[in-house]
Amino acid sequence: MLRVGVLLALLLGAVMLTTPAGAAPPVCGDRSTVLKSLSTKYSEQPVAAGVASNGGVIEILKGPDGKTWSILFTYPDGPSCLIATGEAWQEIAYTLNGPKA
């Protein structure tokens, strides 16, 4: 679980660092509404989650066969915001020495 939390923190940092200055703000709303929308439109379901240092929760959702994916951040006292979306999600099995062959 610790590895998932570290991975999620790195993903969140990478997404925030690579967001263009003129990019549209993230879509935010009630968590259950956002999850229902992603499930209805893309059949996405949560596959990983972690707690950020500020107490927020970050979740990765993916559709069947990884065709689509989304990263959702829920603030401790606020909304859930869709901070990244994409296609072709691939899971990589890691060991202490790096990716499995």
For residue 6, name the pLDDT band (cuts at 50, 70, 90). very low
Lowest mean pLDDT among 8-12, 37-41, 77-81, 90-94: 8-12
Q: What is the mean pLDDT of residues 54-61?
A: 96
Q: pLDDT tens-digit profile of 62-99?
A: 999 889 999 999 999 989 999 999 999 888 887 777 77
pTM for the complete prediction?
Answer: 0.69
Q: What's the half-sphere exposure (Cβ side, CA atoms, 13 Å) at 27?
A: 11
Domain ranges for the chain, please list them.
2-18+27-90
Q: With contact defined as beta carbons under 8 Å apart, do 78 and 53 qualify?
A: no
C-alpha 22/C-alpha 1 separation (Å) is 35
